[in-house]
Amino acid sequence: MKLLFLACLSPKTGNHTTAERIRSHIESAGHTCDLRDAAEFQSPAEVANLVSQSPPFEGALAIHLYRAGRLLLDIQVPFGVIFGGTDINEDVKVEQKRVVMEQVLLKARFAVAFTSKMKEEAEFFLLSQSSKIYVQPQGIQTEVEEKFCWAEFLRSSGVSTEHVDELRVFLLVCGLRRVKDPLYLVEVFSEWHCENPLNVLVIIGPKIDPALTVEVGAVVQRTAGVFLAQERSQQELHAAVKRCFAVVNSSVSEGMSAAILEAMDLGVPVLARDIPGNAAVVQHEFTGLLYSSPQEFVHQSQRLVADHELRERVVRNGKLYVEEHHSLKQERETYQRLVDTLL
């Protein structure tokens, strides 16, 4: 079967990684899957024209009902869709977008939500048949660059490496865009760093929003204890995560943060902003720690530093949670089964 797969493919983002992983699942079942950036197309008519070219596509798939799914509304072949966090957290609040998303969901043969909560929200906000929406969490597989040099990584990020083994590095993994709110913790973290210089915050991720990237760079330059690292390959990033003290999430909204799940899989504690997408995967004091303000972030971080039993518990339970609920094998089987319904 020849499939067209549309997604938002900004380099080295969670969307891109998820799309590539799902594409590999589909192709491992013997299908041909042409992954394309939704930004390449201006209208549904353009996609309909592509799908009908010889040899024609026999089905389609899209991540994000509004950003990519709307482009499938004119095609004459069956398709399925995958909810993105922006769909449920942001786009349903805009009437014009919500109407389009309802049309996409009505025409789609199936839809996939990463969490039961996301499915419930979709059923509440959008006119849909419950039986059409399947829950399949993201499958997680981490790979670490064996030759990764932690001291070089810190030095290249601007961190003094004089006492590298004593530092407590909090790693904020995020693409530089507003929804990730990368500056949320900067001021209060800097104050904490001044009290204890061993605590440092390193922000790392692709530069997606040019204006915000400039803003973050300027703020970091004048802020003690906070640093901005160049983006790295997935294997290098995982190696950095494995060496850090804790992984941080400060997003305004999330669908399902791969960075959080990857940290859990690598045996690293997670400090995540208390928003629905994060609370769906981080159980406070069991698989990680949640916070609702910058001040509470520091409080939870101090607990993580002082309470070794707490740290060991969230690390152990976080890894078990990923193994039990984010199986790559289960994800592969689900997508292969759903794609077969397009035949």
Residues 183 and 124 in one domain: no
Residues 130 and 188 in one domain: no
First to last CA, the chain: 8
Domain presence at residue 144: no
Domain presence at residue 33: yes
Looking at residue 154, its amino acid is L
Residues 161 and 294 in one domain: yes
3-state SS, residue 322: helix
Domain presence at residue 145: no
Neighbours of 310 (CB within 10 A): 16
pLDDT at 12: 64
Structure tokens at 232: 């790295």
Domain presence at residue 159: yes
Domain presence at residue 24: yes
CATH number of the domain encompassing residue 306: 3.40.50.2000
Q: Do residues 238 and 213 make contact, with C-beta atoms less than 8 angstroms apart?
A: no
Output DSSP code: residue 70: G
pLDDT at 17: 86
Helices assigned H by DSSP within the chain: 14-27, 44-52, 85-89, 95-107, 116-125, 150-156, 186-195, 210-221, 234-243, 258-265, 276-279, 294-306, 308-325, 328-340
Domain presence at residue 252: yes
Query: Tens of pLDDT along 64-116?
Result: 999 999 999 999 999 999 998 889 888 999 999 999 999 999 999 999 999 88
Q: Do residues 68 and 37 make contact, with C-beta atoms less than 8 angstroms apart?
A: no
Residues 31 and 91 in one domain: yes
> How many Å apart are CA 231 and CA 222, to the nearest integer?
21
The residue ranges of the chain whose pLDDT is under 50 are: none
Residues 212 and 307 in one domain: yes
Residues 313 and 264 in one domain: yes
Residues 250 and 304 in one domain: yes
Q: Is 309 exposed, middle or buried (0-12, 13-18, 19+ CB in 10 A)?
A: exposed
Domain presence at residue 251: yes
Range of the domain at 209: 150-325
pLDDT at 160: 86
Residues with Cβ within 8 Å of 34's Cβ and at least 6 positions away in sequence, in order, are 2, 3, 4, 5, 57
pLDDT at 89: 83
Q: Do residues 26 and 3 make contact, with C-beta atoms less than 8 angstroms apart?
A: yes
Structure tokens at 271: 């400090």
> How many Å apart are CA 245 and CA 167, to the nearest integer?
8
Residues 160 and 21 in one domain: no
Query: Tens of pLDDT along 140-181?
Result: 989 999 999 999 999 999 998 788 889 999 999 999 999 999
Residues 111 and 203 in one domain: no
Residues 121 and 88 in one domain: yes
Residues 169 and 87 in one domain: no
* β-pair partners for 337: none
Domain presence at residue 102: yes
> How many Å apart are CA 188 and CA 21, to the nearest integer?
37
The count of structural domains within the chain is 2
Helices assigned H by DSSP within 42-107: 44-52, 85-89, 95-107
pLDDT at 337: 97
Residues 23 and 108 in one domain: yes
Pairing verdict, β 133-135 and 226-229: unpaired
